[in-house]
Chains A and B, each alone.
Chain A
Amino acid sequence: MKYEKVSASLVSVLSDFQERGRQGLTRHVRTLGIIAPVESPKPPRVSVFLHCDSEAKLDHLAKYGIIINQGRGRVRTAFLPLESIEALTEEPAVSRVVASRYLKLAMDVAPAKVNLPPFRTQLGLSGKEVIVGVVDTGIDPAHPAFAGRVQRIWDQTLSGPGVVEGSYGRELMGAGVSASQDTEGHGTHVAGIAAGSDPTYNGVAPGADLVIVKSDLANTHISDGVRYIFRLAREQERAAVVNLSLGGQYDAHDGTDSLSLAINPETGPGRIVCCAAGNEGQETIHAQVNMAAGTTGTANFTLLPPSDPISAPKAELNGWYSGSDQFEVAIQSPSGSTTPFQGSITTGNPVQNYTLPEGQIRVITPGPDPNNGDFNFQIEIIPNSNQPPVDPPAWQVLVKAVTVTNGRVDIWTPDGAAFDAAVASDNMKVGSPGAASSAVTVAAYTTKNRWADMQGNFQAVGLTIDTIAGFSSPGPLRNAKQKPDVTAPGAMIAAPLSSASQVDPKWAVAPGFRINAGTSMATPFVTGMVALLLERDATLDPASVKKLLYQASSIPGQAGGAFDIKWGFGLVDCSRL
């Protein structure tokens, strides 16, 4: 017996069985997958997870009475006599044997928290005949949760002739969908929340058909993907809802960015887009500086290491102020060196480059934005690798108010920097495409913060249960319009795991399923709800969908109809839809 391959709980079972026979198993039967009837002549048997080489052939273990339920995969399930565990551990391709645990049926408690099951059952809704579109990292088309329902995939990352909406990527359908893989796993999880079908981890609209766009996440390609999904829906005369569990902070935060403006005219009766609010609720990515004419405001920030180790450090600031104001901006480095103040450059190239001791600075100050009339400035910082140490390593944005009508500048750090907490503003963090006026923009609620992973270990995250998730980004928009719209379960949510993706074992909750959190997860919850609503009435447009959702939502402890910058109009209760 190779005990190092056996989980602690299973070692305990074996020990008790060796010492006390069947009686020794009694205390384990309630919690572990053990069948050991006292009167039966059959040997005690156990249900286990086994971790092995993904392509390992294990059929020969049948001679030990070992039944392995899957022919391939890194994690499989098996049913075997207790006495055969030794044979299993001696198999070189098997690295771990873990006892199955009985979990509560409410493993994924999110649907019940918003009264989804009775809503679906009483009205007989499943999303049938509705298209759920997902623009994301792709899908695992072979996952049983999507069997027979992945209608088409536009894989924008494959070489090919493209589609009407863009002459790049390859369109796949029928058996050909297997040519596309979701190596990230995000898209598979998202699609599973919206429309997966599984006895335990059922999605919200398990009868809907799926059209998938595997994107490189460039917002032009996301826009093309939305148009592609709605074109297919039009051609089939079916209603469709598109899920966008992605976002950025590069935009004006008022819904006038290109992606938001491109989405709006695509929506209409039977055409709905749901967007994530963002996960920056606890990050200091926004600063607001208010100034009188002739004064100079400042906002301190620090540079962050690159999110991936191969990228060179680079920070970017994205500032916006009213078209009726005249401001000039500069950057001060930690040693106190400052670039010249630079105002809007209304003729010629708006790009100016500067060298400071700590790095290269680029300041871009174009004329008024044609879409909203406001001024934007962008500042890029490429720090020197041999920066002299300065403590604290604080950089500053300096904003000089030349003429003032409004007097306010909002600055975001989309990449590589964070504002000091003292100057950060905990609002206006919903960026594109969540800022799109027609989109249903979704905040995240915590329904679960502890779970048992597949190895039987209990895991936990620092989220407070039954309230808004701290990470969920607050609105409103920069122009004071209300966002997000509503809140839905977004932590921790169990849904399909792409077989082509890698996952830390602590997030895996069952073969083929993982747990995850984010407004990425809350959004497909609402996407699925919208699919159910469209099944009931395929003519609903964004305004009527929002009206239904608002009426069914409330912030705990407050009357319905109240708006909050974190909650929007509150947690959706399906019993009121």
Chain B
Amino acid sequence: MVLVIGMNWQKVDASLASALADVQDPDAAEFDVFIHTANNPGPTESTYLQGLGAGNIASGRQIITAKLSARAISGLSDQSWVRSLRLSRRLKLLEKA
């Protein structure tokens, strides 16, 4: 486990907190996450998100998806305009046969 300094844990959901507890390389982009913003991202926020590789930001959505490293998540959690960060979970197909 590698400690990621500066994480605002209040913005991180339980699943992401658990995944971050097992991180080996804080710079490896291994976490698919939902980023919830407090308002529609403006130019500054959009530039920040695009710098992290998040796509489809210009449409003014407050929920953005991205694949991030633990260090990038830590940096995002420290931004006042970021409301919460949630780990992507794999869903199941709903067939019975």
Is the pair B96, A279 in contact by a Cβ cutoff of 8 Å? yes
Q: Is B24 an interface residue (CB 8 A)?
A: no
Q: A162-B55, A378-B14 are in contact. List 18 more A-B contacts (CB 8 A).
A: A137-B93, A186-B93, A223-B65, A247-B91, A248-B92, A261-B63, A265-B61, A276-B94, A279-B94, A349-B7, A349-B9, A350-B14, A350-B17, A353-B21, A366-B13, A370-B36, A370-B83, A520-B95
Q: Is B79 an interface residue (CB 8 A)?
A: no
Q: Is A87 an interface residue (CB 8 A)?
A: no
Is the pair B18, A351 in contact by a Cβ cutoff of 8 Å? yes
A471 neighbours in B (Cβ, 8 Å): 96
Q: CA–CA, A364 to B14, complex, Å? A: 6
Smallest Cβ-Cβ distance to B34: which chain A residue: A258
Is the pair B18, A518 in contact by a Cβ cutoff of 8 Å? no
Q: CA–CA, A35 to B3, complex, Å? A: 77
Q: Is A369 an interface residue (CB 8 A)?
A: yes
Q: CA–CA, A366 to B10, complex, Å? A: 7
Q: What is the distance, in angstroms, from A399's C-beta to the closest C-beta of chain B? A: 16
Q: Per-residue 0/1 for B25-61: is the Cβ within 8 Å of any A Cβ (1 yes, 0 no)?
A: 0000000111010000000000000000101100001
Q: CA–CA, A279 to B91, complex, Å? A: 13
A364 neighbours in B (Cβ, 8 Å): 14-15, 17-18
A265 neighbours in B (Cβ, 8 Å): 61
A378 neighbours in B (Cβ, 8 Å): 14-15, 18
Q: Is B11 an interface residue (CB 8 A)?
A: yes
Within 8 A of B (CB), among A179-221: 184, 186, 189, 216-221
A279 neighbours in B (Cβ, 8 Å): 94-96
B15 neighbours in A (Cβ, 8 Å): 250, 364, 378
Within 8 A of A (CB), among B60-97: 61, 63, 65, 67, 83-84, 86, 88-97
Is the pair A517, B89 in contact by a Cβ cutoff of 8 Å? no
Q: Is A491 an interface residue (CB 8 A)?
A: yes
Q: What is the distance, in angstroms, from B72's C-beta to the closest C-beta of chain A? A: 15
Q: Is A143 an interface residue (CB 8 A)?
A: no
Q: CA–CA, A404 to B88, complex, Å? A: 32
A413 neighbours in B (Cβ, 8 Å): none
Given A164-B55, A370-B83: A219 touches B90 (CB 8 Å cut-off):
yes
B10 neighbours in A (Cβ, 8 Å): 346-347, 366-367
Is the pair A351, B17 in contact by a Cβ cutoff of 8 Å? yes
